[in-house]
Structure 1
Amino acid sequence: MDATTAPHRIPPEMPKYGEENHIFELMQAMLEQLLIHRPVDPIQFMIQHLQRNNDHVPKIVVLGPPASGKTTIAMWLSKHLNSNLLTKENLIGKRFSPLAVEAKNYYQKFKKLPNSMLVQLMQERMEEDDCIRRGWILDGVPETREQVLMIQTQGLVPRHVIVLNAPDTVLIERNLGKRIDPYTGEIYHTTFDWPSEPEIQNRLIEPKGISELETAQKLLDYHRNIVRILPSYPKILKAISADQPCVDVFYQALTYVQTNHRTNAPFTPRVLLCGPVGSGKSLQAALLAQKYGLVDVCCGQLLKEAVADKSSFGELVQPYFEKKITVPDSIVMKVLASRLEKQDCLQKGWVLHDFPRDVDQALLLHSKGYSPNRVFFLNVPLDSILERLTLRRIDPVTGERFHLMYKPPPTMEIQGRLLQSPKDMEEQVKLEMDLFYRSAAELEEFYKEAIALNGDQDPYTVFEYIESGVINPLPRKVS
């Protein structure tokens, strides 16, 4: 079919299904594995790949100079993510492996391992069932550019690479105080992290090779190699300062490894902005629509337009407007559905606000197939809302809007004729706030992946947070 004369009409259910089930990423991952392994039977290989269901298990590399804390961070990540920690030592010490026995004998004799042998040990370990199911975290490997290339050739590609950095003077001082528990492998420090249990204190030993001269030589070797390693991981690399408390380093690393990388998958934003009256939803929706071409869908405005256009929906809505009572959800949903079904919403995406306001309306929206893929809650305290709304005024002569604090009228004459809208009265604002927060907890529970933002700051700062949440993938939640 010629798309220029007869454009393809893709049903909205298809891209939505593909997005929710990550079909694009799934196909991309399978294609990558096919090209890496080049199996004789591609169909059977893909079936086995799907059965493994491990496209999102941790595959992490933690690098850093001596005494940067990379082993501690790798161990903590391994425990938190329930993944497998792989070090040069435990690869060599692996039981029931002829290759590991050969590597151990070689290491005892020459105090180093050939790159090819190290990569073979890694490949053997990563093909075991627990690494396939729970992923792996590499501590301090690769050490050289040659190892990087050999690892990549074997298809052992990490998803996240963390590099710890600190001044050499700090690292040398740290290294001099390092102590190791020979039973658990835990690392302690005479100044920064001394254990409280006397039993542990008494069995700690000083590791070999931590003198100032030896540490300086290791740092020199590290700096020579790391500059050739980093260019191999341009899009998956996170540099973290190690010159801060270890817990802070760990949480920065954990946040990064739980973040999905942006993919090339087609993405049509369907954004929902929730928040009390006066929280800035309309402004944020307008900014998103302007910058990203989304359709700004304000539910209240749709109802007014339906009445003004005297459409069939408007005839249903008008009696409720005349009596100043709430329009039933079923009618609101009909008006909203008619807008969201239009081609511009399907192609460009939309940003919705003023609906849903409670979990029943959210369920109704979901049942009709209009589920947002990004939800933001704008939290603003009551005092700020009152300041924003109760000081608003309108000039009945010109229709111009003013704010007594942020945009005062230019003359006393204009100020004397300003009027306040009944909906901006303090009692009405407090009532609207109370109604929203009665339903907010249930609504947040319904939208479990919603992002809560502080709306009580500069609107363009709020927009930057919303923009980041729209264009970046949602973080994975570890159970």
Structure 2
Amino acid sequence: MELSVRECIEADEAAVELLPSPDSSIRRKLFGLTHAGALIETSHITLCTEQLPERPTSCDDPVPDSYTTTLAGFASFDDQVPAALARWPEVREYLKKRLQFGKPQGCMLLTAFRHDPAICSERKAFAVLLHRLFKFRPELGGIVLAVHVGVDVEELGVFSQIFSFYDVVELSTGGLVMFYRAVRADYNPSVFIREPLTTDAELDQLQAMVKKNEEHYHRTWFDVNTAPRHLLTNQDEHRACFVAQCADTQQPCGLLACTDSIDTDQVNGYARLFSDVYRKSNPMSEDPPTSNPEPSAPSQSVPDPPPPAGARISIAPAPAPAPAPAPIPLQSRGLTRSVGGPPNIIVLGPTGAGRGIQCKRLVQEFGLVHVCAGDLLRHVVNDELGKFDDVNGFMIAGDLVPDDLVQDLVLNRLMQPDCKARGWLLEGYPRTDTQARVLVAQGAIPDVVAILELSDDDTNQRDREIETKVELPPAPIGRRLTLYREHREAVRQNFVKISTVIHMDAAKPRETTTRKLVREIYRARSSRGPLKVRNPPRLIITGAPASGKGTQCEYLVRALHVVHLSTGDMLRQAIRDGTKLGRQAQTYMDGGQLVPDELIVNVVLERLAQPDCKARGWLLDGFPRTEVQAQALLAARSEDVSTVPDCVLALDVPDDEVVKRIAGRRMDPETGKTYHIDFNPPPSDVAGRVIQRSDDTEDTIRTRLQQFHAHSDAVVAALGGICELVRADGTQSVEQVAEQLVASAERCLLRNNAAIVSLFSMVSTFHTRAPLFLSSVFEHFKDKDCLLLCLPENCTRPPITSGFRVVHGDPSLSTIARLNQQDQENASAGSRK
């Protein structure tokens, strides 16, 4: 598909009004009330992009007398500050001084944008328009979108990966205006990315380019002689190639090939390494958190440390991080720490902004020491004499505690070993310019200062709610707000050049604010953050009684950190929680009746919708038991909750073996301990009193097996056509069965969330532009969150990996072997203690 760009004319008005995206409500939030005709007439520049018709593919095709184009997108730009923004002197000053508004190499405002998603994506339409705008206006440095606090571009689902930067301007009323910027270099670069042509000339040219680029490398990770042509001629929705082309010479200068259909000889290695990264990045609550690898750029002068023998490097990227602030030398009281350590964070905000809740969540996410100035003061009021006698009076009146009293308390707490080792989160401090200056002078420099913003109206509303709940007089709350507004900007100015200052709209739902805070802090720290995936594992395990499901579930939970769910446990939990479904189930059980299928299904679906299942995935054990339950599970899928499993893990054990395993069980009635006459016989002093439980007799077991077989084939048939079916021989050793089941689940995790790099080559002059490929890759693989590259030992890292996360590991080592090795190391460490 080819798009052209031209200036808009009056005749385009009707076609522009018909462009459907973004919808009218979103346009009003972003741009206010705009009409296409008025924009075309009054804006400084208006551009539209059109889809050109397909050209004749051969000489025999008739050439039409004229081509009919279709409008695909529209944008307007202005060099005048609109009245809605001009009324704030802070905005006028920012535009003129910071953005050089109306001057050479300055910015213009984006005043409208629309496109037709049926023709092209938002990003493609916008990129084409901006590319042409910067061609039309060589003196233009960038464009800016201004939105008010309360309007979240990300939540609206627009302008993804469009803007490179954003700034925040505080208004005198307490509100904010966010300025999102796109700069010339992003849309008029020296290199642009396109899809390859299918001509023989292009294939020959790219093959020759790759061979020339790679000839000076001693080891490459793909076949230089055959891979380019093979990959270029075998593209489909699962295999894609992209070409980098020099804007000046119009010649190809790079080639990238990716796929989410990984060859059999590579898939297990990739799956194991990806699973290992996923497991370490998403520890279960009882696991100690592990630090996340920091991104590192390839260096010609300082090579990466060599991996262990036989190891490979698995690399997963994310959007390019913001540059970290340069370290500043200071005379400190032992508060500075090494670069790359745990983060130090300050959280500020007015009364009612939800500081306390957000701080607790950040502490949980980053493992920091929570230091609250208010708590420190309340503690000394109760425990100290003399010096702090007046503190309580200041706090009751809503006044600021004198600087010399509070700053020593805070600094002494930050000097404690736990703060140095784990990093700290300082809540509600500093509150004055003096406190901020002393904090910085003593070396307590935060990586991030997060300011929770509330407009005056929202603050007053929350203040009224606080007064109602805690019965505080209105005067102290109002006094605290006045003092916060008075000192806020002076405090902020102490950090703008040495820390990353981020502003959060605290009027949003608390969960939304937390999510954005966490992401912004990771971004400010030049870190990826934990590896998160949209499609965590969703598994079902099935098998006859005594087939070993319980043991295999333990392995699967350890390997993939899924939530283990059994029908009985879910029913009991629903009853304990007193949910509506739990009360209904209790009624049936109290009456000695079986809980009906419909109710069991609803209990399961309610559990699958819980946050832990959506975040970590799930392992259903003992459900579905019937075809009806299986069909209900598949039918319940929705946009918010996926109930379709990735794979069904079936343990096959012959009936006679099941009878042998269960019928041999014996129980000591005095201790309740269970033995087995063949596998774990009771000691001689116990053997005389052990008994066989009534439900462990051979007749009872065979009846249960008949019921299992009557339904299991139908359940597997219902699910097998939708997801992968993995059958394992349950008579093998526990480790052998675990190896097969875990490997299958890991392949599903990889397939659902990642693509891999099959080939990369680029002319050395353009190595710094290699990351331009990534946006095209993720636009092609829209359902993937990660791009991986597994490199052989001692292989040079290609420039495409400059922003990737690096993990050293041996892909030949299975996850079960890795977990057993970990157990041995832990046992050895424990014995040394």
TM-score computed with the length of structure 1 as normaliser: 0.46
Larger proportion of strand: 2
Question: TM-score scaled by structure 2?
Answer: 0.28
- More helix per residue: 1
